[in-house]
Amino acid sequence: MISSAKNHAHIILTLVFLGISVSLLEPIMGWILILVVCAVVMRSALYLDLHKHAPSVRTLNLLALLSAIVLAYFSFQLGVLLGMINLLVLACSLKLMQLRSIKDYYQLITCCGFLIGCGFIFQNSIGFSVFYLLLTLLLLLSLACHISPSLGLNKNLKSIAVMGGQALPIALLLFIVLPKIGPLWQMPTSKSHQTGLAEQVTPGDIAQLSQSAELAFRATFKGAIPTPQERYWRALVMEEFDGKTWRVSSERKAIKGQYKQYNKEFKPTLKGRYFSYDVIAEPTHQNWLYSIDIGVPDGPQNSSKIWHSHEYQLSNNGPLVSNFQYSLRSYPDTPLNQTLYSVDRRINLQKPNKGNPKTQAWVNKLQQQYPNDQDFINQVLAFFAEQPFVYTLQPPLMQTNAIDTFLFEQQQGFCSHYASAMAYILRLADIPARLVTGYQGGEMREQDYMSVYQYDAHAWIEAWHSDKGWQRYDPTAIVAPNRVEFGLRTAIEDAAELIDSPFSLNRFSSIAWLNDFRLLLHDIDFVWTKWILGFDRRSQEDLIKSLIGELTPKKLALFGLSVIALIGLLLAFFFLPSLHRRKVDCITQYYQKSEKLLAKLHIYRPISQGPIDFADSVQRKLPSSLHQPFNQATKIYVQHQYTKTNEQQNSKNKARIKQQWQVLKKAVNRQLKH
């Protein structure tokens, strides 16, 4: 019969597995989650004695075969990473149902530890990190209860807490000093995990994105902070238009690929004032970055991982699968005219030949009245200002001749509607124009940092001037000036329309105490992101340099030896006191070994039970071949503990208890074989 301590170990392991599966809710398929729930319910029923028998091996083998076939069918859609995680969760569910031997238990413990590590691929916020830490401690508690069932749950819990506290300073030291080596391979991800902006925009897409209160990135400024009108965070440039959807130009991609192949990065000449800042971008599984024009990497380490292209767009060498920190300088007074003019003009004058006849006729008439490009642009902006346009997240559908319908009938839309219409109008007038998507605004937390959310997503246009290059125009700022000055929430009449999640604290920012609590959580998350998730190689070098000065091989070697010595001192401080405890004598050792032999037969001595009472209970449970040598060993142990014996008698007792232990060991081995 399995002991209560072993039952505790199994139910704790079951709860840990359930917690891991819940945290991996998004990447795990629904039918595998159903198997997880079935396994947890079955193990809980066994723990509560609501059910007596686990499924047979034949049943589990059949279930495993059917599940493997179904998972193999879906694996091509999932990709390698998600397929492996689903396979591991599936295997753990079946192993939890089968949990019978010590081998099964250890295998499940190992797999749960690996799944906790997989959880950090998808979630690395401070909340989930604390959650995974608790799951790890519970996993260790389950292991302690299984290995030392006689100690009881409370003592095992105390032991795990003490060891966790002892490991914490050593873990912090290793976190600081171990080299920050990049991944040896790129983790594959599915398309379902791409978040934020996309490489194509249809009017209405950004409106949907702007109903999300998820964080896009944070920026920390080292000096002057840009005014609200200067907070245009560039991300993507759309130059290909089919009449409905704007896309990143395929020709531009090919040109960028050629420049990367020959390592000819675009390096603009800079002038005027600049903003210096650090950006911590959230994972998007895309490689574009955010900057205020014109943004350039600040420092050689940033230059090596950021690519600057001719459309003034910054990108990382690989997709952002985790928080990514980089430093920039932006020069807002530098004109955007240092580019491939012939390429820019050819790409950004392309337009669909059919559709929107009213707009084409209106542009022809307006161009005859205002042949000068700047006068024409001013009249287009005046049109947006004079007509009764409405800025809304929920415009009506405009499926055919969308720009005609938007300009002359509905006159309701979001930023992408206005930007798309104006860029199309300028191209009809033979003025090169393109759509730029990114973010506008940001919530400043005093002078510490700026948070930019998905609902700050924005679209504007750039038009070409022969003497100034690309110039930014934002028709949304004409229709809804509050959008640029005070942010999106002030430009929307119904604030509840903005945030799609009913549990987001951003919905209640008008309530003072809830807003203070929201900002406190953001402060905690910022510190965690900057100093833990953002602790990269550069941060590590800066920290070590502040401690030891210039980084020379000799100083680094001495620093490494000092850290090793400090860890050794900590270990000595933790474990030297135990060496001064009274050494266990030989007779006591053999008695304890005898108890461990009985533990193999799932017979344990409770802490509150004395040796003689325990020997009596063993006599009632086991045959004579087992209980007799244990009874003799118990008598010798009790005599040694509670009566005075001379050295000669003590030597005889050592030989006798060793002999009884050997007899018991052979009997237990025979019992296990049968």
For the segment 299-344, what is each residue's pLDDT rounded down to a tens digit? Answer: 777 777 899 999 999 999 888 877 888 999 999 999 999 888 889 9
> How does the average pLDDT of the chain come out, rounded?
86
| pLDDT tens figures, 621-672 | 888 888 899 999 999 988 888 887 777 888 888 899 899 999 999 998 888 8
**415 labelled catalytic:** yes
Are both 344 and 488 inside the same structural domain? yes
For residues 526 and 215, what is the distance between their CA atoms, to the nearest angstrom?
11
Residue 431 lies in a domain: yes
Are both 221 and 85 inside the same structural domain? no
Are both 97 and 203 inside the same structural domain? no
Q: Say whether pLDDT at 192 is over 50.
A: no
Q: Say whether pLDDT at 461 is over 70.
A: yes
For residues 439 and 291, what is the distance between their CA atoms, to the nearest angstrom?
10
- Residue 13's pLDDT is 93
Q: Say whether pLDDT at 53 is over 90.
A: no
- Residue 496's pLDDT is 47
Q: Say whether pLDDT at 266 is over 60.
A: yes
Residue 175 lies in a domain: no
- Residue 52's pLDDT is 77
Taking a C-beta distance cutoff of 8 angstroms, is the pair 320, 267 a contact?
A: no
Are both 142 and 222 inside the same structural domain? no
* Alpha helices per DSSP H over 123-195: 126-147, 152-177
Q: What is the DSSP string of 481-499?
A: HHHHHT-HHHHSS-GGGT-
For residues 5 and 540, what is the distance between their CA atoms, to the nearest angstrom?
45
**What are the percentages of helix, strand and coil residues in the chain, rounded to 5?**
60, 10, 30
Domain boundary among 87, 116, 147: 147
- Residue 112's pLDDT is 95
Residue 163 lies in a domain: no
Backbone Cα Rg of the chain: 35
What is the value of pTM for the model shown?
0.74
| pLDDT tens figures, 337-393 | 988 888 999 999 999 988 899 999 999 999 999 999 999 999 999 999 999 999 887
- Residue 190's pLDDT is 41
For residues 78 and 92, what is the distance between their CA atoms, to the nearest angstrom?
19
Locate 660 and state its tokens.
């009884």
Which residue out of 112, 373, 474, 640 is catalytically annotated? 474
Confidence band for 582, pLDDT divided at 50, 70 and 90: low
Confidence band for 183, pLDDT divided at 50, 70 and 90: low
Which residue out of 415, 417, 456, 640 is catalytically annotated? 415
Q: What is the DSSP string of 94-119?
A: HHHHH--SHHHHHHHHHHHHHHHHHH
Q: Provide the pairing of β-strand 390-391 with 412-413.
A: parallel
Which residue out of 8, 10, 417, 458 is catalytically annotated? 458
Mean pLDDT calculated for residue range 124-136 = 92
Identify the bridge partners of residue 505 per DSSP, sorted by sequence position.
none
Residue 546 lies in a domain: no
Residue 488 lies in a domain: yes
**Pick from 134-138, 266-270, 486-490, 559-563: least confident:** 486-490
Confidence band for 583, pLDDT divided at 50, 70 and 90: low
Taking a C-beta distance cutoff of 8 angstroms, is the pair 101, 672 a contact?
A: no
Are both 275 and 353 inside the same structural domain? yes
Are both 108 and 224 inside the same structural domain? no
Domain boundary among 147, 181, 207: 147
Are both 141 and 255 inside the same structural domain? no
Are both 18 and 110 inside the same structural domain? yes
Locate 513 and state its tokens.
């105490």
Q: Angle, to 10 degrees, between the axis of helix 4-23 and the axis of helix 80-98?
A: 160
Residue 447 lies in a domain: yes
Are both 467 and 612 inside the same structural domain? no
- Residue 491's pLDDT is 59
For residues 256 and 249, what is the distance between their CA atoms, to the nearest angstrom?
11
- Residue 608's pLDDT is 76
Residue 504 lies in a domain: no
- Residue 193's pLDDT is 41
**Residue 302: which of 285, 322, 327, 280 has the closest Cα?**
327
Give the count of alpha carbons within 13 A of 340, CB side only. 16
Are both 125 and 207 inside the same structural domain? no
Domain boundaries, position 609: 586-673
Burial of 570 (0-12, 13-18, 19+ CB in 10 A): middle
**Residue 75: which of 88, 86, 90, 65 has the closest Cα?**
86
- Residue 102's pLDDT is 87
Are both 73 and 207 inside the same structural domain? no
Mean pLDDT calculated for residue range 433-462 = 91
Q: What are the backbone angles phi and psi of residue 513, rounded to the nearest 5°?
A: -70, -35
Mean pLDDT calculated for residue range 438-442 = 92
**417 labelled catalytic:** no
- Residue 57's pLDDT is 85
Residue 164 lies in a domain: no
Tokens 């009764």: give the residue.
Answer: 388
**145 labelled catalytic:** no
Do you know the residue count of the chain? 674
Mean pLDDT calculated for residue range 562-573 = 90
Are both 263 and 139 inside the same structural domain? no
Domain boundary among 430, 464, 499: 499
Per-residue DSSP letter, 466:
T
Per-residue DSSP letter, 613:
H
Tokens 């206005």: give the residue.
Answer: 418
Locate 237 and state its tokens.
């440039």
Q: Say whether pLDDT at 231 is over 90.
A: yes
Domain count, the chain: 3
